[in-house]
Amino acid sequence: MRWGIETSFRELKHTLSLNKLHSKKTAHIHQEIFAKAIIYNFCSVITMHVA
């Protein structure tokens, strides 16, 4: 059961380019992760509506 969670997390990490973070402070890391997730979701919505 855990293997599916691990592979999903790995795919998400690579999709959002979270393997290299630019920040060192915890608050900035959170901000970077949320910003990448928002951009990813925004791009997903746009590509779903392309003919």
Q: In terms of residue numbers, what domain contains 9?
A: 2-48
Number of domains the chain is built from = 1
Q: What single-letter DSSP state applies at residue 20?
A: S
Phi then psi for 33, rounded to 5 degrees?
Answer: -65, -45
Sorting pLDDT into bands at 50, 70 and 90, what band is 5?
confident
Whether the full predicted model's pTM is greater than 0.85, yes or no, is no
Summarize pLDDT for 14-47 with one digit per residue, the tens: 888 888 888 899 999 999 999 999 998 999 899 9
pLDDT at res. 26: 94
Give SS3 for 17: coil
pLDDT at res. 15: 85
Q: How far apart are CA 19 and CA 51, in angstroms?
A: 32
Q: Kindly tell me if the per-residue pLDDT of 1 is higher than 80.
A: no
- Which candidate, 30, 2, 31, 32, places its Cα nearest to that of 17? 32
Q: Kindly tell me if the per-residue pLDDT of 11 is higher than 80.
A: yes
Q: How far apart are CA 32 and CA 7, in angstroms?
A: 22
